[in-house]
Amino acid sequence: MILKANRSLWRSLTLAAALSVAAAPIADACTRVVYHGPEDRILTARSMDWSLPMLSNLWVFPRGMERNGEAGENSLTWTSKYGSMIVSGYDFSTVDGMNEAGLVANMLWLVASEYPKNDGSKPEMSLSIWAQYFMDNYGSVAEAVEDLEANPFDVVTADVPDQPGRLAKVHLSLSDASGDSAILEWLDGELVIHHGPQYRTMTNDPPYDQQLAVKRYWQDVNPRETLPGTTRSSDRFTRADTYIDMVVQSDDPRIAAAAAMSVVRNASVPYGINTPDAPNLSTTRWRVVADHKDKLFYVESAISPNLFWVDLNNLDFSAEAGVRMLDLGVDMVTLQSGEVSADFKPAEPFKFEPVN
């Protein structure tokens, strides 16, 4: 069953509940925020915060790829309708990216996630290919949400890489060139969807309806005098949600990208930070900004002096062009600069992590 988020729920939460969220334990962290500029200049920015070094390469996947949900005999199958450029997690999962229609998907950690126990009535899909499924199949958020309601499927998780016994638990955001957004969460085995352009900001725990309670509280505070400054999820949410409206609003792609990147930098975790009483606090490994209007995808590694970008208009997404990869290495250590679409090399597609 897919549950539409009750928009009145968060309005009824008390200040005490909101403050209890702010005191929640710190988990592996990321931040995602959408910039709504003038003249339909829409950008999605996110940070990837992770507790261990992470292999993240850029991949180009063409149209026409035959896919399956990598979840055993009951896996969902499809053929990719859209080409996409994605960021991999360990080269066996899609964690971020944009397709040729301008749809962006971002996966962020959510400890509260509880995935369904499938009874065989619905097809299944590995968490590793969940984000890729949406970029393969949809050109807009509305189209994706409508199809999810008509054709539901279950998601299956597995252990985090190099952390046996610790299940991967994430929620997913979608955004598109119209400025529309959706937040998808598996809670108590049910898929909860928050759908609308107002859902621009997302961090980690707690579940999204409680993040919105924090947002409501801080709306009554003058942001020029007081904003929370820690790296906790609720504090990062508040800063990103506030600053995305305070930065310069411009249709100039360079200025808009600078504004969006400055917000997600402000919500990042300092590199190599070590807090003994918060062992799950995660350093920011990389940041990306996707310009939905001009199909530009900016990338910044925390350990690189350079920001670089891919112009998706320069990529060939035809089936004949095949799969290509830009090798960035662990924590994107390989130095890149400027526009790099010509630097992708032919490659065999990576194998999405299967769940049996």
Q: Which of 50, 42, 58 is nearest to 309 (CA)?
A: 58
30 is known as an active-site residue: yes
**Cβ burial, residue 326 (10 Å; 0-12/13-18/19+):** buried
Tokens for 178, please give them: 């119209």
Q: Cα-flanking dihedrals φ and ψ of residue 208, to 5°?
A: -65, -35
Contacts of 184 (CB under 8 A, 6+ apart): 148, 171, 172, 173, 174, 191, 192, 193
- Name the catalytic one among 30, 103, 191, 299: 30
Tokens for 156, please give them: 């299956």
**Alpha-carbon span 113 to 168, nearest angstrom:** 9
Q: Which of 49, 125, 57, 144 is nearest to 333 (CA)?
A: 57
Whether a cis peptide bond, with omega within 30° of 0, leads into 206 is yes
For residue 146, give the amino acid letter: E
For residue 250, give the amino acid letter: S
Tokens for 255, please give them: 């200025």
Tokens for 126, please give them: 């590995």
No. of helices (H) and no. of strands (E), the chain: 7, 23
Q: Is 342 left (phi over 0), alpha (psi -120 to 50) or beta?
A: alpha
**Alpha-carbon span 301 to 47, nearest angstrom:** 10
Question: Which runs of E-coded beta strand occur in 240-306?
Answer: 283-291, 296-301
Q: Cα-flanking dihedrals φ and ψ of residue 276, to 5°?
A: -55, -35
Looking at the annotation, which residues are catalytic?
A: 30
